[in-house]
Amino acid sequence: MRGVAGKDLSPEIMEFLGRAYGTYLKRHQINEALVGHDSRATSQEYSEALIKGFNWAGINTTNIGLALVGTFYWAQYFLNKKGGAFITASHNPAEYNGLKLAIDFSETLVHEGMQEIRKMMENDDFEKGEKEGIAENVDIKEAYIKDLNKRIKIDKKFKVVIDPSCTTAGIIVPEVLRSFGLEVVENNCQLDSSFPLGTPDPTEISVAQRVKEKVLATGADIGFSYDADGDRIGIVDEKGNIIWNDVLIAIFAIDILGRYPGSKIMFNILSSKVVEDTVRSHGGQSFMWRVGHSFLKKKNQEVKAPFIGELSGHFFFSADFYNHDDGCYTTLKLLEYLSRSNQTLSQAVAALPQYISSPEIKVGCPDDKKTSLIRRMSEALKQDYSEAEIIDDERAGDGVRLELPDSMLVVRYSQNGPYITVKFEARERERYDELKNYLNKSLHNYPEIDWSYGVNVESLE
């Protein structure tokens, strides 16, 4: 749930959300809620208002304060709290805020549950508790770091650049890495809720370029970037190469399949063909599903994959950790794998099948037009690439994937904002340029495309 702070959201609205969700939790036999927040300007104020609403509904609350969302999920297990809420708008611009509503361990509400909460608020469907809930504050950072040190072993003293774009990860990731004896180069780790460096999105080329420059300048072994709540990462290798996260899915798949032979590896439709190629060559089973970490987590209750990965930088180590994403844990798992396999990141990437891949490209499109646009683009793809497999069923969810032996192309609409997402790749430059030119021409033929908004749009030129 996201909106513009001060316009769509306010402390009063958050308090009523707390009353509604507190009522919802009680109706699901949950009487306690965990609360945490990211470093946005309104997050602490909103979390306090939400707690007030929870307590009004008779829900006892445990507030862990400023934290990573992965730490929040971890704290559900540590403190045995199934319900709760984390205040964040993830990678949205600074003027936004929102929240993720927890209904079970590592489990948040998706569309149907959110719509039920909306109806409850519209109908003033709240139930005041027989007695007011008790509010307490708990600091769990030390316990979280101690638990990570029990789970992960890193034998090499890496030099690591950490760049969270002045957001939440800056207060904990460097401390975690130093607890493993690693050398940390802090870059933009000071908190600044105005987002002075722009939107903290690790999939943006501008963010990756900044990390690249710091890695090269300091001679670091690797560089990491994070989004505002710290559940997603971006990486740069020791040579300054920007490594997109679908390539990282393939690297993690090798590690997972070495320990869980023949298992399923789940990934979304935006992922490179290198993932399926790698999973197949290492004896695993590929399972492609729609974009959205909530959808992937929900589907994995059925699939039981030990690992899930997304291009956006969400990674779930469901067999080794929990069925949720945690950027700090992902950082450590990559370093652990490189340490154990005695490789640099560039060496690990070089051993994979090679594709020329675009970044995740975002182009503006109004919310009320993006669904029909993707439907029309799907029909056009079927006509223009009749020899290709077109994936537009429930696996695609909100988009379509064109699959060819040597290439792929994906277009989909965002669930979080007024834009569509594009990704394409090919083994050879000629096919890559063909797909790029096709998309550029095609998108310019649709008047609903808003070119005033874009992320990585230069990759279409």
List active site positions. Answer: 90
What residue type is 162 in one-letter code? I
If DSSP codes are grouped into helix, strand and coil, which group holds residue 317?
coil
Instruction: Determine phi and psi for 155, rounding to 5 degrees.
Output: -90, -20
Structure tokens that stand for 10 in this block: 């306010």
Q: How many residues appear in the chain? A: 461
Residue 187 and residue 159 in contact, taking contact as beta carbons nearer than 8 Å: no
What count of other Cβ atoms lies within 10 Å of the Cβ of residue 375? 12
Cα(283)–Cα(293) distance, rounded to whole angstroms? 25
Q: Return the ∠ at Cα 131 (arms to 129 and 132), rounded to 5°.
A: 85
Cα(167)–Cα(227) distance, rounded to whole angstroms? 7
Cα(226)–Cα(235) distance, rounded to whole angstroms? 9
If DSSP codes are grouped into helix, strand and coil, which group holds residue 66?
strand
Q: Return the ∠ at Cα 291 (arms to 290 and 292), rounded to 5°.
A: 120
Question: Where does residue 89 fall: left (phi above 0), alpha (psi -120 to 50 degrees), or beta otherwise?
Answer: alpha
Buried residues in 106-142 as b, exposed as e (16+ CB within 10 A): bbbbbeebeeebeebbeeeebbebeeebebeeeebbe
Cα(225)–Cα(221) distance, rounded to whole angstroms? 14
What count of other Cβ atoms lies within 10 Å of the Cβ of residue 87? 28
Cα(191)–Cα(178) distance, rounded to whole angstroms? 19
